Structure 1
Amino acid sequence: MQPNLKSTLLDEVQQLFHRHGVRALSEDQIITSLSISPATFYEMFQDKNDLVDQAARHDLERQKREHAAMFAKAGSPVERILLLLQHGIKELRNIPGTLYSEIQQDHPQTWAMMLDHLATYSYPQIHNLLNDGILQKQFRSDINIELVTKIILEQVNLLLNADIFPPSRYNLSEVFRSIYLYYIRGICTDEGFKLVAAHFSKA
């Protein structure tokens, strides 16, 4: 099997999930949409649950690479956090509003992996950006970094809670913007706020 075949298929699967959601697609429908044989499918994936898990892991690795590319272009912690926010909004615009709730309900192992990603990747990332921002006098020195980091991450759970923000009623990207952009402005110093304003003037 070609080493890039699985990667290509996982990219294609992610696009299928973004168009149709996870729940609506059966294994047979996925196999047909990927134009592969059942034998090829089961050589790489145990079942649909395993496919969902591998696709989610593959997508998180993609996001890590994109974060690294973004950070290479941005020097200040404030701008890096804003780029993360914009990246998150872009990601949300490309997926069905019910995707996360379907994974949470139907694929708890994958959901647990995604929460672990938040704890082991997103938490240190945000914590370090906040700390750097304080050292560079872009974020207020009186903020509790541990608490603010936890609040930012808990706001992710709030945003993705379909009971609080049902996708049929709320646009997730707008919820994302309303939760985060005002919060980040609130923890900025005057210098940090100027960077925020300059960033949006270039957008």
Structure 2
Amino acid sequence: MGAVDDFEGVSRGRTRRALGLIAIGLALALVGGIVYLRPFARAPAETPAPTPGGHFNLPADMQWLSGAEGWLVYNDGQNQSTLFHTQDAGRHWQRNFLVSNGHAAGLRFFDSRRGVLPIYGEAGGVRVLQTEDGGRSWRPVPLPSLVSTRASSSATPCMPGLLSGRRRPPRPVFQPSSCIAQPTSASTGSDSRMQR
């Protein structure tokens, strides 16, 4: 009987070890499955941040002259516009000036020193400010009348343009009224030039 007892003792020890190894294997499989499947688990639905109340205005215009230097026109909705300037890629903005009684839009710089800013008024009028020193100072641009008193015309929507001539750099030209004069056949000669 002693030999049988030894055999049963070995058998019980192996069974305990086998059960222990199986338990450890199941525990590792469970932990591995949780770790593996965790990235695929659905995240809780995010609640959007509440938006503040009130009226918001977006910039009316923005122009970048380089990666660091840029201009921003902001209309506040109360018939005022502010021109901002940055020289550090937008980290800091300096207020250049405030425009009252009009909305600025259509800011254009032709190079780092020369630029124009049209300002549209309540009554449909347009005035244009110009800088030739990189925005340190702005002065009004006299707006020429493009309508001849002897020519009939047909109206088209007002569009800004450039006027250039021999030995003169291009300069901005804007029609102050709500239309640009276009010659018609009644006011032109055979060579399609306006008659005076």
What TM-score range do you get, normalising by the shorter chain? under 0.3
Higher strand share: 2
Q: TM-score, normalised by structure 1?
A: 0.22
Q: TM-score, normalised by structure 2?
A: 0.22
Work out which structure has the larger RCO, using CA pairs closer than 8 Å and 6 or more positions apart in sequence: 1
| Structure with the greater alpha carbon radius of gyration | 2
Higher helix share: 1
